Amino acid sequence: MADPEPKRAGRGSPPPEPRTGGSDKRRISVLLSGRGSNFEAIADAIADGRIPRAEIVAVVSDVADAAGLRRAAERGINAFPIPRASLSRREHEKQVLKILDAFRTDLVCLAGYMRLLSPEFIARYRGRILNIHPALLPRFPGLDAQRQALDARVTEAGCTVHVVDEGTDTGPVILQRRVPVLPDDTVETLSARILEQEHLAYPEAIARFLESPSGEGPCGVEADEA
């Protein structure tokens, strides 16, 4: 199978080349499957200096027509569709890793990426993959976290940015933000309230992670209140 071509930012412009030298910026690659609102929050935070000395070098999606790819291309960021339908998990991840390696990725950010990563993938970028989850982990891991919170009748929900390991939302926590659960909340209203905090939490967590002395990010940071 041919290597995927990046979506172009402008009609008739040549595909952008990987930036592999001449910059001291930390290189971030984003994996997404949908609209890409957290990706845009990260990109905006880089642009306004809240995530200093960083750049997004590639956006990869397992959904060919994901809105996040279009938004990346509109920003002039390399955007790669790698549809998963016709590929085995191993072949799909091989193509994704080829892109991440080509851009000398320092940090991988999952932003609504609806595909589990294999242990082999995680080992390749161990300690350098972040995810944001719409719950206050360790409570309500996995799918439908907002529904889980409502079914449990909790009075507080939120989001968690954590390092990815082989478990399901079990990696070390970097940062959390909290929101109240209101008596008349639905999955939709609670999700919207949490998403607002995700857009604040993810950039802040990335900045903390990249600025940590070890270069591997702080873990066990106390939760932030919304």
Total domains present in the chain:
2
Looking at residue 101, which CATH number applies to its domain?
Answer: 3.40.50.170
**Residues 113-148 pLDDT 10s:** 999 999 999 999 999 999 999 999 999 999 999 999
**Domain end residue (candidates: 67, 91, 125):** 125
58 shares its domain with 147: no
103: in domain: yes
Q: Which of 92, 133, 162, 199 is catalytic?
A: 133
> 89: domain range?
1-9+23-125
62: in domain: yes
2 shares its domain with 113: yes
Q: What is the pLDDT along the chain (226 residues), one digit of tens a residue?
A: 445 555 543 322 333 455 444 578 999 999 999 999 999 999 999 999 999 999 999 999 999 999 999 999 999 999 999 998 889 999 999 999 999 999 999 999 999 999 999 999 999 999 999 999 999 999 999 999 999 999 999 999 999 999 999 999 999 999 999 999 999 999 999 999 999 999 999 999 999 999 986 545 545 444 455 5
**Residues 99-108 pLDDT 10s:** 999 999 999 9
74 shares its domain with 120: yes
83: in domain: yes
163 shares its domain with 202: yes
84 shares its domain with 188: no
15: in domain: no
101 shares its domain with 208: no
114 shares its domain with 159: no
**Domain end residue (candidates: 107, 125, 143):** 125
49 shares its domain with 148: no
**Domain end residue (candidates: 94, 125, 156):** 125
155 shares its domain with 115: no
33 shares its domain with 113: yes
16: in domain: no
Alpha-carbon distance of 54 to 51, in angstroms, equals: 6
179 shares its domain with 222: yes
Residue 133 a catalytic site member: yes
112 shares its domain with 162: no
148: in domain: yes
